[in-house]
Amino acid sequence: MTTTGPVSSLVQALGEIPPQPVVFGCSEAMRTVRERLDKVAGANVPVLIHGESGTGKDIIARMIHSQSPWKTGPFVKVNCPAIPGTLLESELFGYEKGAFTGAYGTKPGRVEMAHRGTLFLDEISELDLGLQSKLLQLLQDGQFCRIGAQEDKKVEVRIVCATNRKLEDEIENGTFRQDLFYRINVVNLYLPPLRERRADVPDLASYFLEYYNRKYNCRARQLSSELIRLLEKYHWPGNIRELENLIKRYVILGNEDAITSDLVGREQEYFNPEIPIDGPISLKKITRQAVRELERKIILKVLQANHWNRKQAARALGISYRALLYKIRDAGLPSSRSARRKPEEGVVAQPVAAG
């Protein structure tokens, strides 16, 4: 398969970081990210990357490292939600022999492993307040203490953090330290969701197609213009990660129908107004019904994202608390946290590919 345009450099760039034209595309928002990244990469200051899951925060963190003076040092990633809270402290800061039951030897933590390199803390909002205090000390004076140790250790490390949450809301909610936020937010990079950069979808799809053709030794054909148009119109709740997994499936199966039907099915779940088979069709009534259903799903998603905190959800939606309560009742949504224990009837969770 031959490729043209920005994907043509793929042959020499099949490592962890895709070619820059593919990563940044042509949107104004991503152009801003690129300009900021170029300026900040060489400065030893913390960087905060925020955006929805699957928007490529990991890739941007690796690009910052690869363009920095510390690129020959290690890039150490810590996926904060993936490590249980009881183990995260020892994973980050290490421990001394005998520090706790089962500590039969000394173990360096991820912070030490990142010495003279980059420490990437993915989903930093998941750190508990105790660990946030230790991280603050590391940022302030470059020192930390292993569990069970008597003395602090010095380390030189560049810290890059990422989150899919609005940390200002977490501060107001009492789950994130304000002083830590100011320390990690020296430079802020916002990654827009894929639905806000649809023009980049064809190049991203071509990149993933050639990448997985080579990786799996397959010969899946170039995507048809009809499928490209469908991909450009899709709303991408899972962002670039969802697109990547979709193309991976196409490469393995070698059949466009397998992903076309899947895409159409997902769109119908997302937006599926009832249209009568016979009889007159009221466009105004159907449109009103579709808008109400879409609003219901958006409110539910925002409530879930804010852990059912209705005041926080109202702020996120840009409406008053009273207006949100009315919309919750009008949409037939549950009004309390207890609803989180049981799934909503009629609401189908969008599949999100493996930010």
Tokens of 351: 């599949």
Q: Which residues are within 8 A (CB) of 342 and not within 5 positions of it... i.e. 6 or more apart?
A: none
Query: What's residue 274's pLDDT?
Result: 54
Q: 205 near 231, Cβ under 8 Å? A: yes
CA distance 88 to 150: 20
Per-residue confidence (pLDDT) for residue 347, from 0 to 100 = 39
Task: Retrieve residue 43's tokens.
Answer: 């400065």
pTM, to two decimals: 0.72
Contacts of 162 (CB under 8 A, 6+ apart): 48, 49, 50, 57, 58, 61, 120, 121, 122, 123, 124, 355
Burial of 301 (0-12, 13-18, 19+ CB in 10 A): middle
- According to the model, what pLDDT value does residue 273 have? 53
Residues 23-36 as b or e (16 or more Cβ within 10 Å = b):
bbbeeeebeebbeb
Are 88 and 201 a contacting pair, CB within 8 Å?
A: no
C-alpha–C-alpha distance, residues 4 and 208, integer Å: 14
What is the pLDDT, as a whole number, of residue 260? 81
As given in the structure block, the two tokens for residue 209 are 């197609």
Cβ(244)–Cβ(250) under 8 Å? no
In the chain, what are the domains?
A: 28-191 (3.40.50.300), 197-270 (1.10.8.60), 283-341 (1.10.10)
When computed from its CA atoms, the radius of gyration of the chain, rounded to whole angstroms, is 23
Distance CA 336, CA 306 (A): 12
Distances (CA, A) of 270 to 61, 198, 226, 265, 297: 31, 18, 21, 9, 8
Beta strands in 288-349 (DSSP E): none
**Full pLDDT tens readout for the chain, 355 residues:** 444 444 444 434 444 688 999 999 999 999 999 999 999 999 999 999 999 999 999 999 999 999 999 999 999 999 999 998 878 999 999 999 888 888 888 899 999 999 999 999 999 999 999 999 999 999 999 999 999 988 999 999 999 999 999 999 999 999 999 999 999 999 999 999 999 999 999 999 999 999 999 999 999 999 998 889 889 988 898 999 999 999 999 999 988 887 887 776 665 555 545 555 556 777 777 777 777 777 877 888 888 788 888 888 888 888 888 888 888 877 766 665 544 444 443 333 333 333 5
What pLDDT is stored for residue 10 in this prediction? 41
